């Protein structure tokens, strides 16, 4: 009976996971039928449309996932830490690329260009970076900018504009930037897990960071936000466990990266929760003060050219509720967002969360889930969280350390990812 109990518990959790998805879908159909207006969610509650396709492209994620599942658990258990981290990051990029090949949308590889890079001329049209910043919030409020400009600070478009000045542009550069950010997010999550919960658990979690359904939506700017924000969190967390010059250097790097992340995405502010929780637990007030001061300095710097971050946040909220959010509403997506997150994290993570007993790893995973809860309750995420919440997902996937027999669970994660690739048509 003792041997059967974990299997029964796992079956119940998997059934609850499936029931959550099915129930959310049913409620979504009711909402579509009873609410006027265009929700722009053809795969309610997911963005995109349900269009089954079975072709040779699906072999790419199947082959990549199978190879990763075959070798990465052994690598994570036996190789030196630096090589384990590198292998995990490379595996995550490979799986993400393989799923991108399986996408059925013609804009899969051009999403960053479509929403950001092709609009960098707006900086030149304004007369340069300084006047662009000076009038950004004003034009944002008027709805004069593309939709993603209306929803974010000007950091990414200014970065892409500056990159163009030195010859870094085009589809290859843009997609390389996204996949580099995927690797950075995975490495950051591994570093955080190892520093807080120990190397043994971080090694056990590593394969689950590489193979997850969330990888299906890793072809957009939110992965850049994730890479920068999680790198900031990792630097600050590592600083709380060190002294002397290393602590100072890590605090400085973390603070500057945190400021950069805030200029990329307003939601990056929520990833302060894991940093604060860990720093307070370790009583490293100087890291909080130093990192916070540097992040504030980066955010305050654009004031010299007329851009104020808090005004941008308020303007984003106004534009958000003047658009599709007013049609989508609040209460349904309070549940649906969590169901979509459960799908992106995969069924194995749902089981892992019920089995996770290590208090140190729960500090990381739990504080990340607290950030998700705040994001959900804020009302600023009415669907599309499969993309918007990518910065939170790597920390939640660390819960995979609680699972024994990882290959079977990773196989389940792979199956869900491939089904998504076969059924869902979306440009991300």
Spatial CB neighbours of 326, under 8 Å, sequence gap ≥ 6: none
Q: How far apart are CA 332 and CA 337, in angstroms?
A: 9
Between the two ends of the chain, the Cα-to-Cα distance in Å is 45
Q: How far apart are CA 267 and CA 272, in angstroms?
A: 10
- What angle, rounded to 10 degrees, do the helices at 406-423 and 347-355 form? 140
Task: Please provide the DSSP assignment of 157-209 as one string.
Answer: HHHHHHHHHTT--SHHHHHHHHHHHHHHHHHHHHHHHHHHH-HHHHHHHHHHH
Give the DSSP H or E segment for 60.
helix 59-78
User: Are the C-beta atoms of residues 223 and 390 closer than 8 Å to each other?
Assistant: yes
pLDDT at 81: 98
Measure Cα distances from 327 to 220, 266, 330, 398 in Å.
Answer: 24, 22, 9, 35
Phi, psi of 235 (to 5 degrees): -60, -45
User: Are the C-beta atoms of residues 368 and 392 closer than 8 Å to each other?
Assistant: yes
Hey, what long-range contacts does 1-9 have (CB within 8 A, 24 or more apart)? 6/355, 9/354
**pTM check: above 0.85:** yes
Spatial CB neighbours of 338, under 8 Å, sequence gap ≥ 6: 20, 372, 376
Spatial CB neighbours of 304, under 8 Å, sequence gap ≥ 6: none
Domain boundaries, the chain: 62-425
- DSSP-based helix, strand, coil % in the chain, nearest 5: 80, 0, 20
Partners of 424 in the beta sheet?
Answer: 50
Q: Which of 302, 277, 276, 303 is nearest to 291 (CA)?
A: 276
Q: How far apart are CA 50 and CA 31, in angstroms?
A: 18
pLDDT at 336: 97
Q: Which of 180, 202, 207, 213 is nearest to 67 (CA)?
A: 207
Residue 43 DSSP code: B
pLDDT at 3: 53
Measure Cα distances from 118 to 2, 105, 146, 361, 387 in Å.
Answer: 60, 19, 11, 42, 20
To 5 degrees, how large is the angle CA 157–CA 392–CA 41?
70
pLDDT at 2: 53
User: Are the C-beta atoms of residues 226 and 189 closer than 8 Å to each other?
Assistant: no
pLDDT at 313: 96
Q: How far apart are CA 9 and CA 285, in angstroms?
A: 41
Is 190 buried (19+), middle (13-18) or exposed (0-12) by CB count in 10 A?
Answer: buried
pLDDT along the chain (428 residues), means of 10: 77 98 96 87 93 94 98 98 98 98 90 95 96 95 89 96 96 97 98 98 98 97 98 98 97 98 97 98 97 98 96 94 86 96 98 97 98 95 93 98 96 98 92
């Amino acid at each position: 009976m003792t041997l059967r109990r974990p299997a029964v518990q796992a079956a119940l959790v998997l059934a609850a996971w499936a029931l959550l998805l099915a129930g959310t879908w049913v409620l979504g159909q009711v909402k579509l039928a009873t609410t006027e207006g265009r929700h722009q969610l053809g795969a309610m509650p997911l963005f995109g449309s349900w269009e089954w396709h079975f072709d040779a492209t699906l072999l790419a994620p199947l082959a990549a996932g199978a190879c990763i599942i075959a070798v990465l658990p052994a690598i994570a258990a036996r190789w030196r830490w630096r090589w384990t981290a590198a292998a995990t990051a490379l595996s995550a990029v490979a799986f993400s690329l393989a799923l991108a090949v399986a996408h059925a949308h013609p804009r899969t590889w051009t999403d960053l260009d479509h929403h950001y890079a092709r609009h960098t001329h707006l900086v030149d049209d304004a007369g340069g970076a300084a006047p662009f910043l000076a009038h950004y919030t004003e034009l944002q409020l008027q709805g004069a900018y593309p939709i993603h400009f209306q929803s974010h600070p000007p950091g990414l478009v200014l970065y892409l504009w500056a990159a163009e000045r030195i010859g870094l542009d085009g589809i290859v550069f843009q997609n390389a930037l996204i996949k580099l950010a995927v690797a950075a997010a995975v490495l950051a999550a591994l570093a955080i897990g190892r520093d807080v919960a120990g190397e043994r658990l971080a090694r056990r979690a590593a394969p689950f960071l590489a193979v997850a359904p969330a990888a299906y939506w890793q072809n957009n700017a939110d992965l850049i936000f994730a890479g920068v924000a999680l790198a900031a969190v990792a630097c600050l967390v590592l600083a709380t466990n060190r002294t002397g010059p290393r602590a100072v250097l890590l605090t400085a790097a973390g603070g500057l990266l945190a400021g950069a992340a805030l200029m990329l995405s307003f939601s990056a502010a929520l990833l302060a929760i894991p940093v604060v929780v860990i720093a307070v637990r370790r009583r490293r007030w100087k890291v909080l003060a130093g990192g916070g001061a540097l992040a504030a300095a980066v955010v305050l710097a654009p004031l010299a050219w007329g851009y104020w971050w808090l005004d941008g946040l308020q303007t984003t909220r106004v534009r958000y509720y003047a658009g599709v959010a007013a049609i989508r509403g609040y209460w349904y997506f309070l549940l649906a967002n969590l169901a979509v997150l459960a799908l992106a994290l995969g069924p194995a993570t749902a089981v892992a969360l019920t089995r996770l007993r290590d208090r140190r790893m729960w500090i990381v995973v739990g504080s990340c889930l607290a950030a998700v809860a705040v994001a959900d309750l804020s009302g600023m995420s009415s669907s599309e969280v499969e993309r918007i919440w990518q910065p939170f997902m790597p920390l939640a996937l660390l819960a995979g350390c609680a699972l024994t027999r990882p290959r079977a669970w990773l196989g389940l994660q792979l199956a869900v990812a491939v089904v998504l690739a076969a059924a869902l048509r979306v440009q991300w």
